[in-house]
Amino acid sequence: MIVLIPAYEPGGTLSQLVRDLRASESEPHVVVVDDGSGAAYAGEFDAARRAGASVISYSANRGKGFALRTGIAHIVEQFPGEVVVCADSDGQHRVDDILRVAHRAEEAEGAIILGGRRFIGDVPVRSRLGNAVSRLAFRAVAGVRVHDTQTGLRGYPPHLLGWMLSITGDRFEYELNLLLDAAATGIPVIEVEVATVYLRNNASSHFRPVVDSVRVLRPLMAFGVSSFGAFLLDLAALQVIFALTGSLLIAVVGARAVSGTVNFLVNRYLVFRSRATTVRSHALRYLALALAIVVAGYLMLTALSALGVGLVPAKIVTDVTLYVLSFQAQRLVIFARRATAPVAKNRELVLSSRRR
């Protein structure tokens, strides 16, 4: 097995963690990625090398997601076919927990293994807040219950490593994006309970509860703003066109055409920032989704009404369900980004770090 540790300005526990891992019965190979910590921390990474780790370094801080992809690219080239366990450098993960996650990943073929904390005892407020926000957001979008979405202790089978390189997000949002894509594509996610450990009130953590939670939630928030804006535009256009034509049919169709076009362009260029294919191809997929949403909405309302659900609650349930499905369809199918750029970028970093 391979243990991958991304590290930014490590707090002094890194080399001991490497030493303890190498001294364990499993003797895993350890790959450490120095995420642009700078000269002041060179001694920490030298100590990690002496303890038995392979260290990849680059000059500028790029974020945890970028560091993880860099390490994965290195492992794919140097250690093909190995289970990979990602762990944090700040002492939060005990060696026996890291190895338990690794062995579970070897046993559960095809599944992602999460070392899930239960946040029992004296847990810093910012850690409780950050995890609660991402847990609720993940369940709302993916429809899957995961207790600890922010855990850095994760095990991956070898056949998923190429897929990991295709996931976007350079900072803390990368790990949540992994779980979102796993849920959407049917990759099983299994949680293994691990100890909740915080040293010095988690002082070495670089997670910022407000800024990084917003970063994690940005696509969902932007999609919500875009959808609400389209609703307001549709309402305004409906009144204007009806006043000009006096025809309700023309007003309804015209307003939906205006609001739908604007919503499509906003989602393509601002929400999902996709240039993976042509505007025409995106537009055709978007139109097909819009028609499918209309049909699905009608069928859901009919079914709920037949079950005795009132119109208002049935409308709320239907719209919330279709909102989540529409978000996932646009993110993963209609406006999905190609993975070639992140893969090539991280491979180049691995090669350049070897030349140093």
Span 330-341, pLDDT tens digits: 877 888 655 444
Strands (E), the chain: 2-7, 29-35, 53-58, 84-86, 112-116, 154-156, 189-193
Closest listed residue to residue 26, CA positions, set 83, 87, 73: 83
Estimate the share of the chain in helix, then strand, then coil, as percent rounded to the nearest 5.
60, 10, 30
**In the chain, % of residues over pLDDT 70:** 78
What is the rounded average pLDDT of the residues 78-95? 88
Choice among 109-113, 136-140, 308-312, 325-329 with the minimum mean pLDDT: 136-140
0.75 exceeded by the pTM?
Answer: no
Choice among 83-97, 113-127, 335-349 with the minimum mean pLDDT: 335-349
The order of strands in the sheet holding 112-116 is 53-58, 29-35, 2-7, 84-86, 154-156, 112-116, 189-193
Looking at every residue in the chain, the average pLDDT score rounds to: 80
Residues found in the chain: 356
Give 98's pLDDT tier (boundaries 50, 70, 90). very high
**pLDDT value at residue 356:** 47
- In whole angstroms, give the CA distance from residue 142 to residue 139: 5
**pLDDT value at residue 41:** 92
What is the rounded average pLDDT of the residues 164-168? 88
More confident residue, 10 or 224: 10
Which of 27-41, 118-132, 205-219, 291-305 has the highest mean predicted lDDT (pLDDT)? 27-41
